[in-house]
Amino acid sequence: MNYIEILPALRMLMSGEKVGTLVLNKEVKDCSSKLTLGKDVTLEELEQRFAAYVNENGGAPELVDIEGEGCFAVGEEVTEGRLAGKVAVVTGGAQGFGGGIVDYLAEEGAHVVIADLNVEKGNEKVEEVTGRIKGANKVFFVEANVGSPESVQNLIEQTVKLFGGLDLFISNAGILRAGGLDEMTPETFELMTKVNYEGYFLCSKYASAVMKVQNKFRSSHFTDIIQINSKSGLKGSNKNFTYAGGKFGGIGLTQSFALELMPFNIKVNSICPGNFFDGPLWADPENGLFVQYLKAGKVPGAKTIEDVKKYYESQVPAGRGCTPLDVMRAIYYVVEQEYETGQAIPVTGGQEMLK
């Protein structure tokens, strides 16, 4: 069975007015309202058989039994919040901005898949969030490398198997290695480009395939792909060209994907945060940006990490770094509106403004 086609289609067809998640129950054997399908069912056959069932029985089946897979039903879980019932994926979701985004998504009722290379921190994040949320929504971890097509495909398939579909994909995973032309090696340039630029392409490619199927069976259903970009995607960054170049390119992808996918009610936007000074990207004592920038001499006269931090804080009119809540408020806007796509939204405390 082609999971990334059949299950999203079933999710849309079997849901009522509010789209739910798809639940697999291998133990259900008997049900008066059941449609049985073969294990090699195609999307076209599913559409025909489902329509015939509704026509003959006056409504959708409560269960769909797929040979060799089990019985599928729409879950009855009740979640509350601004994102109640949405299925979301966050790459790089084990910590940093991604971890903060996961917290807010779960607190607002979304089902969340945390995708990350760090298995230990990913599982720890699942335990932490699951122990805190009060709703019926679920949080899972899937190991994923956004630079690998096979890994991203597996991430999407596992998400669909868990929940039946996908509503919100947040492409957050990224790496940063500072350095000017003299210091930057071709190998590091290639790695950063693969993760920060190609990774966004791969995630959008495979996530949108599921979203298109959902749109085919429920044209009113809106979905979102959101890239967590950077203020470095809005303005060049001295001795940080590899990162800035990838982020500039990411906005180009966002605008192009938005034009291609809006006919399927898939919105694509970038959010461009300022500096998350308290997160591991900046504050890690061994490889954080404060350490990297100090070594690279990006801040003239700086002798300590604290000197570097004070310098960057002084560049922000708001007088502080960005936080996950600042970013999340932009995500709420992007998801909740239905008339905006292809945008790069600054969240920089006034440091970078639209031109």
Beta strands 63-66; 70-74: pairing state: antiparallel
Q: What is the pLDDT of residue 263?
A: 98
* Average pLDDT score over the chain: 93
Q: Tell me which residues are annotated as active site.
A: 243
Q: What CATH superfamily classification does 87-275+326-347 receive? A: NAD(P)-binding Rossmann-like Domain (3.40.50.720)
Mean pLDDT of 14-29: 83
Query: Per residue in 287-315, pLDDT tens?
Result: 888 898 898 888 999 999 999 999 989 98
Model confidence band, residue 354 (pLDDT cutoffs 50, 70, 90): confident
Q: What is the separation of C-alpha 121 from the centre of its chain, rounded to a whole number of angstroms?
A: 18
Return the SS3 of 256: helix
The predicted-structure confidence for 326-347, as pLDDT tens digits, reads as follows: 999 999 999 999 999 999 999 9
Task: Give 283's pLDDT tier (boundaries 50, 70, 90).
Answer: confident
Decide which of 31 and 57 is more confident.
57
pTM, entire model: 0.93
Q: Is the pLDDT of residue 30 over 80?
A: no
Q: How far apart are CA 194 and CA 156, in angstroms?
A: 19
* Through-space distance between the first and last CA atoms of the chain, rounded to whole angstroms: 49
Does the structure show a pLDDT above 70 at 28?
no
Q: Can you tell me whether residue 227 is helix, strand or coil?
A: strand
Amino acid at position 81, single letter:
G
310 φ/ψ angles, rounded to the nearest 5 degrees: -60, -35
pLDDT at 185 (0 to 100) = 96
DSSP letter for 210, please: H
- The pLDDT of residue 249 is 97
| Short-list 276, 268, 241, 273, CA closest to 252 | 268
Q: In the predicted model, is pLDDT for residue 193 greater than 70?
A: yes
Residue 25 contacts by C-beta under 8 Å, 6 or more apart in sequence?
70, 71, 72, 73
Closest CA to 265 of 60, 48, 12, 21: 12
**Spatial distance between the Cα atoms of 7 and 213, rounded to a whole number of angstroms:** 9
Name the residue with higher pLDDT: 25 or 286.
286
pLDDT digits (tens, 9 = 90+) for 101-114: 999 999 999 999 99
Q: CA 350, CA 234: separation in Å to the nearest integer?
A: 13
Instruction: Please report where in the chains the tokens 């398939």 appear, as a residue.
Output: 157
Domain ranges for the chain, please list them: 22-74, 87-275+326-347, 277-315
**pLDDT by residue (tens digit) across 224-275?**
999 999 999 999 998 889 999 999 999 999 999 999 999 999 999 999 999 8
Give the model's confidence band at 75: pLDDT under 50 very low, under 70 low, under 90 confident, else very high: confident
Segment 217-236, tens digit of pLDDT: 999 999 999 999 999 999 99
Mean pLDDT computed over 194-207: 98
pLDDT band per the 50, 70, 90 thresholds, residue 353: confident
Degrees, nearest 5: CA angle 309-311-313: 70
pLDDT of residue 25: 76
